[in-house]
Structure formats: C-alpha cells, structure tokens
Amino acid sequence: MRRSAKSPPTGRRPAKPRPVATRAQAARPYHHGDLRRVLIDAAMQLVGEGGPEAVSVREAARRAGVSPGAPFRHFPSRDALMNAVAEEAQRRFRAEIEAALAEAPPGDPLGRFHHLGIAYLRWAMKNPTHFEIISSRRFFDHDRSAAVSGDNAELIGMTERTLAEAFSAGQLGTRDLRQVQIAGRALVYGFARMHIDGHLPRWGVGDAEVEQMAADIVDLFIAGIASHAAPAAKV
C-alpha cells in the first residue's frame, strides 16, 4: 500500500510552527535583573515630573515595562514604594553634602559649615520635589524609615561637631551651638521653601539671581556668627 504524499513518515510527527512574537512582546524593555532598583528609579522620575502625588506602584510598573502585579513582591503598597523613594532622595542629598565638604578648605570648620549650607540649598533648589519628600511629613513618615532617620541624625551630628570645632578654634562669637545650628537650618530651609513655593519673585529675586542670593545669605549668616577675633570663612 502506498503512503500518501501528504502523510508524514512513519514514527515522525510534523514540526509545529514556532510562535511569532508580537510587536508588543518584542518591544518589552524588561531584561534586567534588579527590578527593585528600576522601580525606584521610575518612581523618582515620576516625582520629578509630577510631584509626590504622581507616584503609584502601577505607573512605576508601566515605566519599568513590567506587568502591574510584578512590583508587589518588592513594594506591597504605595507607602512601601514612597519609603524607598525617600531613602534614595536622602542618599542623593547626602552625596551632595559629602561632595561639597570634600572641597572645603582643610583646618577651617566654619568654612565646612559654609559649604554645608550652600550644598543644602543647591540640592534643594535643583531637586524641589525630592526635597519635598524628605523634608515634609505630608508624603512620608520619617519615623518609619530607619535609613532616612539614621542618615538625618548623622548629618545633624556632623553639623554639631563642625560647630564645636569652629568654637574651639575661636571662629564663633557665641558658645550656644544649638542656637546656631537651629538658626542655620531655619535659614536654609526657609530660603529653599521660599524658592520652591514661588515667593522669591515677590521679593524682587528673579530666577537668574536665586543661586547668588542663596550664597549671599549664607555668607551673611556666617559673618553674623563669626568671632570678631577671627575672619569670617570665605569660599
């Protein structure tokens, strides 16, 4: 009996056609291994574009190119994602501070204090929405993040030691270091908020003047707390 020309050889099955990837599948960008990192970066982007209110786990997943359910192994809620965003914002802020202190003149603690103030203002004004997250309790509970609280405590401690060294070196005109520290923080925080909230134009400070004005008010503060027996720190 002759086999039909269309029949497959005995013992062999016809090969199945390979599935063709759809355009959407071929374009999926998720080939990385650190999904947590990519989701944080996506959320940081969302904050920068639309403020903290723009952040959602679903939108971060869309930006990362994964399914809506994929992030929940790392971030079971929006609060968990915002906690990670705050930690990343704090890390970037700390890096700005450390880079500025590395450029401070050696043996000049008041000069380091000056650089710290300038770095604080520079980062806050360039990253207003990220600054909003780590400085305001409206979007993030500092007490629930050991990383952010611990890092903030380290920065406060570093400022205290810097002022204590400045006093020991005869650079400060007052021994009330706590008052100086709070006044300095109020100055830079207040100026940053004035800039972020759009108040400075009403005071005649245009966009082109903001950075210079920030440096000038820090200089003015340093001159006010400096001992008359020692020259004020200069950049």
CATH of the domain at 177: 1.10.357.10
Residues 60, 100, single domain; the answer is no
Half-sphere exposure of 100 toward its Cβ, with a 13 Å CA cutoff? 20
Residues 36, 70, single domain; the answer is yes
Residues 95, 206, single domain; the answer is yes
d(CA 105, CA 197): 33
- Whether 112 maps to a domain, the answer reads yes
- Whether 17 maps to a domain, the answer reads no
| 47 CB-contact burial (10 Å; exposed 0-12 / middle 13-18 / buried 19+) | buried
CB 40 within 8 A of CB 88: yes
Residues 56, 103, single domain; the answer is no
Q: How many helices, marked H, and strands, marked E, lie in the chain? A: 9, 0
In which domain, by residue range, is 118 found? Answer: 86-225
- Whether 210 maps to a domain, the answer reads yes
d(CA 154, CA 45): 27
The CATH number given to whatever domain includes residue 66 is 1.10.10
pLDDT, residue 70, reads 86
pLDDT, residue 22, reads 39
Residues 48, 124, single domain; the answer is no
Residues 181, 163, single domain; the answer is yes
Residues 115, 194, single domain; the answer is yes
Residues 207, 113, single domain; the answer is yes
d(CA 171, CA 42): 45
**How confident is the model over 75-102, as pLDDT tens digits?**
888 888 988 999 999 999 999 999 999 9
- Which among 49, 76, 103 is the end of a domain? 76
Residues 50, 98, single domain; the answer is no
- Whether 235 maps to a domain, the answer reads no
- Whether 24 maps to a domain, the answer reads no
pLDDT, residue 32, reads 52
Q: Enter the pTM of the model.
A: 0.75
Under-50 pLDDT residues of the chain: 1-9, 14-31, 230-235
Tally of structural domains, the chain: 2
pLDDT, residue 33, reads 66
